Each structure stands twice: as structure tokens, then as C-alpha cells.
Structure 1
Amino acid sequence: MLAAPSTSASASASTSASVPARFAGQTLSWTACPSQASLQCAEMTVPRDWHHPADGHTLSVAVSRTAGDAGKPVLMMAAGGPGGQGLLRPAGMASSDPALARRFEIVSFNQRGEPGSSPLDCAPQSAVNDQFTHDLRDDSPAAERQVIAGAREFAQGCAHADGGLVRYINSDQTAHDMDLFRNLLKVRTVSYYGVSYATWLGAYYATEFPHSVNAVVLDSNLAVDDTMQAFMLRQPAAFQRRFDEDFVPWAAAHDSTYHLGATPAAVRAGYEKERAALAAHPLAVPGASVAVGPNQLDMGTSGAIYRAAAFPVLAQAMAALGHWPTASADEQATVAQVFGSDPNTSFNAEFFAVACNDTPWTKDLGYWKRLQSTESARHPLVGARALLYGATCASLPSAGSGPRLTVTGEGFPPVLMLNSTGDPATPYAGALRTHRALRGSRLVTVAGGGDHGQFENGNACVDGYVDRYLLSGTLPDGDVSCPGSPAPE
């Protein structure tokens, strides 16, 4: 059994001894978060470059905490992505798990480069929209030139934005920001919860500051012993499996409700027919930020299948596209919700900065052209993005510049890991690799499930293991399984 989280207010010197006093000695000025009354927010000043903290350049990082909970042990959260914003997430965790809220001061932050912190601005919204308006499955020479030109323009915008900020947007720099935050909260250690990319970030943090963490929960895991490029290349097969083996049979079984096809083959054929129609004539949808074309169909679908609870809404939107001339206002609103959002410029900037910088990427555009063509055919739902993603990282001068850490778990507290066997975004094979790398970790396998993000996802078995670990330090004796949540009826 791990000792329960300490309430000591004596902060470790691990950060304060290595940075100028202007950072380690600052006081956070907490005020009510403008959009979330249950939280307090503050701005933390950090060095732009933690490896040269006295060079005079600084950044701001927005931080938050549950209001009125100062003096409790700290549970630090981080957002996935990379590119997700974590600032307001403590409110959701406190609301959904009152036991954790009673025990902990729950804190989080928006990473450097994100809105609210010192933001990275790579391109205007119109330019980002242009990258996703043509059909990414099109591998004609003209289409490839268009993708590469857009990727280069975006990467060059990142490289020149905000005084070269992009070079300092990586997981290593953020891990140092996190430990300064811990230090300013005046606690010796924090417990940590991270989902998706935040598992990678949490592993970085615990590797660099093993004595600063008391407990670590990693939910839906990246393979910490691999590269970001390898992780991104494993996703298309996982998303295709989730679509073909989970959503499509579910839709066929509910044909009497959604009329998408009575067999899996009919559902898939109907999807491709609708996609071809949108490629020929993108649809102007009331309330949508962009015209709904083939990429919007793919992106909306891949986003909706992260959790089975969203299958009905996705099916409703697909059904509405199938009878668009007679779609009701409510059905049109559902289509706008699922398929009609702008690509998020701030998310894309942070995503590519971290994903490209953290580990090396292949620079050969010929490789990415070939991969885009084969992946479009093998894993059409998201495989067609290969050239766009690869050309962006190949064009970013700082790609691969972040310090590469070897994550072994040495010095860590015991780690509790969660992963479903059918996760589309963080494939289970990656969790197994991380489990092997983090010696002494315990893995909770959600068997037969395909959801991404297991804690607070309505699975009492998973939630019980997490709460017992965080509240009392109790880990399972070995690896365990929980049943997956069934898809909605």
C-alpha cells in the first residue's frame, strides 16, 4: 500500500534551487475564474526556456484550483491533445467525484502556447480552414501540392510567431512549469491524473521530478518508449477498427431507428455514398462554422466515436444528411454540432508544436506521399491525414528539438494505468508498452470496451480502483480487468 497523500506545506527545493528567485519566489494572485465560479484562477510567470532560465525571456501560464481548498493535498490534472485546455477541468472532476473534492485541492493549467497562457499563433482561422476544405483522400499531384503548400505555410507561421515561441513548446518545458506550480502551491508532492496525451506529459513530469509526485494515474495511454510519429501512425488502424467493428454494427442493429442500413456492409456503403456526395457538393448547414464536406464528415465521425455514448448523436446526424432536403431544424442543428465546427486554430498550433517538437519526425515528403495514399485506402476514416501531418512536422524547423527522455519509472511512486482494449485514439498496444516501461505499474484493462478516457466515464469498476488509490494509496495486487460499458440501446 502506498502512503496516503501528504498534507505537508513544506515545499521541495527541487524547483526553487534551480531557477532564479523571481520565479520561485513569486506569489500567485488568486481570483475567481471568470467563467467558472467554483474555481480560482491565477497567472504564473515562467522562464521561456527552463534550460536558460536567467536569459530574461518569460511566459505566462494560466493556472486554476478548486476555490476554498488551499491547504489540502493537491491533485494536479493536465489536458490531453496535445492542445486541450485544462484550466477549467478541476470543476468537472470536483462535481463528478465529491470524495476527491473533499480530499484534495484539485488544480490544473493551460499549457504554455495555449489561450489564457502565452499563446502560440501560427495561422489565421481562414488558413486553417483551407487546409481541411479539400478532400484529404485525393492523392492527385495537384492535391498533394496543395496539402504540402498549406502545411509549409502553417509551419512557417509557427516558426516565426511570437518571437520564436514554438521552439519552447514541448513536454519537457511544460513539466518544469508543472513543478514550479507545485512549488508555488507550497506542497512537497502532488498526486497526478492525466488522460490521453497527458499520460505522456505525466510520465515526463515524473521522470524529471520523481520526488514531486505522490501518486500517478495514467488514463488511455500513449507508448512512452516510442516517438510521437509512431503513435500518430498507429492511430488510423485503431480508429478504423472502432468504426468498422463497433459503430457500424451498432448502426446496422438500430436500422429501424436511424435507417443507415440493415447490415454493416450497407452502413459502410451508405457512408461512402454520402461522403462522395459531399465531396462533389459541400453542404451549407445553418449554424455550422464551415461548409460540411468530406473531411468534415470524417473528422466529425472520428470525434464522435471516442465514446459509445455519442453513437446515437452521430447516427442522428448521418441520418439527417441522408434526407437533408426534409431535415428538421433540430436535425440540422445536430449536423452542425457533429460535422460543422471550424478546425480549432489554437488546438492545432499547440498540437503540432508539441507533437512535432517532442521527438524526431521523418523529413522525406516522398515517404509521406506514399503513406497518405496507402493509408487512405487501408484506413480511410483518418488515414488520409498522413501527408498533412507529416508535411507539417517535416516543415517545422524546431521539429525533434525537445529533449528526449527515457521513461523507465525509476524513482516513481506506483503508477495506476487505465486503458480500454478498443480505444481508437490511444491503442491498447501502447498501454502495454508503457506498462512494461513503468516497472511496478498496475494496469486496469477495460475489456470489450472501446471508449477513450476511462475514469469518470460511468464505469463503477474503474472509478473504484482510481478512488481507492488516490484516497488511501491502495493499489490492486496485480493487473485487473473491468467490463466495458455497453453501447446505448
Structure 2
Amino acid sequence: MPYASRTRAAALLTTALLAAGALAACGGEEEGDVREQSLEWEDCPAPSDAQGGGTSPSPLPGDADWQCATMRAPLDWSEPDGETIGIELIRVRSSGGGKDRIGSLVFNFGGPGGSGVTTLPAFGQEYEALRTRYDLVSFDPRGVGRSEPVECESASRLDALLQKDGTPDDAGERAEYEQGLRDFNEACEENSGEVLPHVRTTDAARDLNLMREVLGDDKLYYFGISYGTELGGVYAHLFPKEVGRAVFDAVVDPTQDPEQGSLGQARGFQRALDNFAEDCASKPQEECPIGTDADDVKKRITRLLADLEGRPLPGSFPRLLTETAATGGIAQALYSKNFWPLLTQALDEAYEGDGRTLLFLSDAMNGRDQSGEYSNLVAANTAINCSDDRPRYTVADVERVRPRFREASPVFGDYLAWSMLSCAGWPVAGAADHPDVGAPGAPPILVIGNTGDPATPYEGARRMARALGPGVGVEITYRGEGHGAYDSGDRCVQDAVNGYLLEGRVPRSGTVCG
């Protein structure tokens, strides 16, 4: 399955690395009941399997407890008086006392398919400055985690699917690849057919607006990362007058169709790999045993992947480190410069015949824990992307674009080209070629692009700022590595974001940090 259509935020990916479903019941509440509902906040349970498993979140410093609640929302927003679903929320209260509290700051960490209910507490301390004036809130979007999760294949069948060749070279491999996609999509329809038509980003944006009302805020205060920037842009388009202060970090390019987006990611991941190789080669040999110079580092990676095509390495028994798994593992490690030493270790081990660490990284990409259970990340990611994206590509389309993808990235190009087939045969029609984020009348929105971002390449930030409209998009550049800027710890970025969210100070558009 592709890791590329709309990738998760760095925070979510780190959660997956550090990690060693009950369906929400449907009811029949009326629209008035939904808008007037009162949330019942309680201690948070341990995450469900669909959320990724684990233990209940620990309090933040000062014994600030996390609380969870379920918000009712219409299953079908075109029938607001009809059936409802539960949207799972999490919050920690403001640390600054009532008099300086602005409201709730709602986070979406990306994906699509990532559980905000598990991600926010894992990284809550990084947002302590913002908690002085906001309750910190996140949620599982519809189709994700505990919010009517999309269910597709079982863990064992997903294991088998992810062991298949993601870059087929002949007719037999292509047929097997296409059959695997058909089986997966049919399983999604069989197990989650009722919810599949209602997991579009426009549906989640309407949930956000209901959330704003239920939380008691006149305006939505929002922090979107990765796909969360697309959700935020769609919200601003639908509800420009309801936007309060908003920050978009690691920005999805809203002007691209899926083919253009995948090609951009091929360039982005290759650029990040180039930067990794240069960084590794600048270190002493004992710290970089995987090549004599940057070109050698990359040549050895390319050779490893070619060798794995025919001779997979032992991974985590009985699974093997295949070419596809290794490609995903390398991509996973490029989401944060903090992961680069682990990538060096994983490659060094693979060259010695041990594929376990690269497979571990690949598992993190796909939401698989050490016990063999999967969150519903892959299922939800596919369902939301395929519901949002109108194009349905064919093998002929893949063959047409492969030369350009290979030129953009010798390592990731083929895989990203073939991932364009993921929505072929999806049971729900896609909504549009790309999202509409034009938001005339909205207040300033901070749009932060990272020059080294592999998953949401830097160029997308400027296009988002322009698409939001004159006077809305405020562009900030971070010259750094990894997916996202605020969580890099860069003081310039954090001062700009904190100054805007806490005090309303709008930085100069074009500000450069790092």
C-alpha cells in the first residue's frame, strides 16, 4: 500500500516508532440535539487496536490529566437529521487560568488516518507554551481510530499484502499486484461499506465546525500538520468567517492532482535521501560505515534494493525484508533528522544480512506494532484519499509516468508511480482533482514550509498561501530537514507561531527561519 498519497505528520510517525476498535455506535439523534449536545469528559481509556493500542495517556507535568469525550455528528452531512456517528475527542485543560484563556486549540496531525487521540498526548509537552492560553484538543477524524473506523483486511492478510512486490516488473507480478489491491478494496467495502461514502475531507471539516460549536468557541483555533493543513484549508474555504487563528505546518500542495502530488513526493524523498547521504558522509567512518562518500552511500542503497528484488533478507519471522518493505523503511526514517542514525544502523545491518531494523521502520510506516496488530491507518488513509481524489489511474497511466518518476527518484520513483493504482476500483467516487481552499474573508493563516521536507515538499507551502487568497496566507520558510517545522525546536519558527496563536501578532509574510 502506498505511503505517499497524503503522509502522516512527523509526530504520528514518531509515535509509531516509539510504540514497542470498537466501532462507535450509531444513533438517531436530531440535528438540534447534535448542535446542542454537552460533551461528557471522562478519564481516557487505553487506545483501541484501531488507534494503535498501548496504555492510557499519562498526565502532563503538574498533574494535568487528559480527558476524552465522544461527540455525535451526522453520518451523512446532507441528511443532518439522520443517523449519527461518534467522533472521539481528547483534551487537556489550559494551564494559565481562566482569565487569559482564549479557547480550544484543535490539532490534526495528518495522515489522513492518524489518531489525534493517541498522538496529542504523546507530544503534549511540545505544546506547553500554547497550553498557557488554550485547552489543547485533538480528535480521531471520521473513519479513524475510535471514530467509526474503516476496517479492511485482517492483520494476517495485511501482512501478506504488504509482503507483495510494490514495483512489479512483468505481467505476472502486475497481475498479482492488481489482485492484491482489488482484494483490499473489496474487503473495505464488505467491512465498512456504510461509512465509506462519508469520510471525505469536506465531511471532516463540517465535523470540525460542529466541534467548534460544541466546545463553546465562536471561532476555530487550529493547528494542522501535514494532511491537517489540507483539512484546515478546506475548513477555511467552507467556513472563512469561523476561522480564528490557524497554523498550517508541513503543507500539502492543494493545487496538485494525485499524479502531480506523487511526483512531487518522489522528488521530495529523493532530496531528503541526498541530504541524508551528504550528512552521513561528512561524519567519521565509524559513524557512517555505509559508504565512503555521498554518492557511494546512495549507490549502495540502490544496489541493496535491487538485490532484495530477488533475494529478500530475514526480517521478523516469518516475514522477510523485501524491496518494497525496505523502500518504505528508508522513507519512514527520512521524516525526521532524528531518525537518520537509526537509518544508518538499519542499512549497515542489512548489508550484513539482517533486515530486522529496516522492517521495523517499514512497520512503523504502516501502523503495525510489535505484536503484529495494525492500527486502521492504512485502511483509513486509503478510504479518505480515494473518497477525496477523483482520478482513477490505470496500468497504462503508470507506464506513461514511470520514466519521469524514475528520473525524479531512482530509489522511490517506481514505488510512487505504482502507488497511483491504489484507488482503482474503489467503491466510492472521488470528489475532485484537488481540494478547494480559497478562503476570501478569512483572517491571516500562518503557512510554514520546510525546505527539506520529503513528504510535503517545500513548494507546496507557497502554493497553499496563494490559494488561500490575498491577505490570508502568511508564508514562513524553515530551512531545515524533516517533516514539519514547529516540532524541530527552531526558536524562530516557534516564536512566530506562539506569538500569533497566543498574542495575535502576525509575522511578516516571507519570514525565513533556520
**TM-score in terms of structure 1 length:** 0.86
1:40 aligned partner: 67
Query: Aligned partners of 2:129, 2:365: CA distance in 1, in Å?
Result: 37
1:477 matched to 2:508: yes
Runs of 5+ in structure 1 lacking a partner? 1-18, 326-331, 484-489
Deviation of 1:467 after TM superposition, in Å, equals 0.5
2:206 to 176, 181, 193: 176
Moved over 6 A (4+): 68-71
1:198 aligned partner: 228
Query: Aligned partners of 1:22, 1:258: CA distance in 2, in Å?
Result: 61
Q: Secondary structure at the match of 1:131?
A: helix
Q: Deviations over 1:218-260 (max 9, x none)?
A: 001112233344323321121112112x011222223332311
1:28 matched to 2:39: yes
Residues 300-315 of structure 1 correspond to what in structure 2 (within 5 A)? 300-315=329-344
Deviation of 1:88 after TM superposition, in Å, equals 3.3
Q: Secondary structure at the match of 1:42?
A: strand
Residues 148-159 of structure 1 correspond to what in structure 2 (within 5 A)? 148-159=178-189
Of 120-129 and 195-204, more deviation after overlay is shown by 120-129
2:456 aligned partner: 426
1:455 aligned partner: 486
1:61 aligned partner: 87
Deviation of 1:278 after TM superposition, in Å, equals 2.9
- Relative to structure 1, is the Cα distance of residues 452 and 415 closer, same or farther in structure 2, using a 3 angstrom cutoff? same
Contact 1:424 1:451 survives alignment (8 Å)? yes
Q: Deviations over 1:74-131 (max 9, x none)?
A: 1110121111111134435541232211110111100111121111012222333333
Deviation of 1:394 after TM superposition, in Å, equals 2.1
Contact 1:78 1:108 survives alignment (8 Å)? yes
The code of the aligned residue for 2:477 comes to T
Residues 380-419 of structure 1 correspond to what in structure 2 (within 5 A)? 380-386=410-416, 388-401=418-431, 406-419=436-449
The code of the aligned residue for 1:313 comes to L
Deviation of 1:445 after TM superposition, in Å, equals 0.6
Query: Aligned partners of 1:195, 1:160: CA distance in 2, in Å?
Result: 32
Q: Secondary structure at the match of 1:419?
A: strand
Same amino acid, percent of matched pairs:
29
Q: Deviations over 1:359-416 (max 9, x none)?
A: 3113433112443465356523332234543222121131313797532221211011
Query: Aligned partners of 2:112, 2:259: CA distance in 1, in Å?
Result: 13
Deviation of 1:333 after TM superposition, in Å, equals 6.7
Deviation of 1:424 after TM superposition, in Å, equals 1.0
Contact 2:258 2:433 survives alignment (8 Å)? no
Q: Secondary structure at the match of 1:36?
A: coil
Q: Deviations over 1:23-66 (max 9, x none)?
A: 11222111111311431001111111111122x32221111111
2:272 aligned partner: 242
- Relative to structure 1, is the Cα distance of residues 381 and 60 closer, same or farther in structure 2, using a 3 angstrom cutoff? farther
The code of the aligned residue for 1:82 comes to P
Deviation of 1:137 after TM superposition, in Å, equals 2.9
Q: Secondary structure at the match of 2:320?
A: coil
Residues 85-100 of structure 1 correspond to what in structure 2 (within 5 A)? 85-92=115-122, 94-100=124-130
- Relative to structure 1, is the Cα distance of residues 385 and 404 closer, same or farther in structure 2, using a 3 angstrom cutoff? closer
1:138 matched to 2:168: yes
The code of the aligned residue for 1:481 comes to V
**TM-score in terms of structure 2 length:** 0.82
- Relative to structure 1, is the Cα distance of residues 122 and 221 closer, same or farther in structure 2, using a 3 angstrom cutoff? same
Q: Secondary structure at the match of 1:433?
A: helix
2:156 aligned partner: 126
Of 65-74 and 393-402, more deviation after overlay is shown by 65-74
Contact 1:292 1:340 survives alignment (8 Å)? no
Q: Secondary structure at the match of 1:214?
A: strand
Query: Aligned partners of 1:392, 1:112: CA distance in 2, in Å?
Result: 20
TM-align CA RMSD: 2.4
- Give the paired residue count: 455
1:328 aligned partner: none
Q: Secondary structure at the match of 1:97?
A: helix
Contact 1:94 1:100 survives alignment (8 Å)? no
Runs of 5+ in structure 2 lacking a partner? 1-29, 46-55, 59-64, 368-373
Contact 1:170 1:402 survives alignment (8 Å)? no
Contact 2:330 2:358 survives alignment (8 Å)? no
1:215 matched to 2:238: no
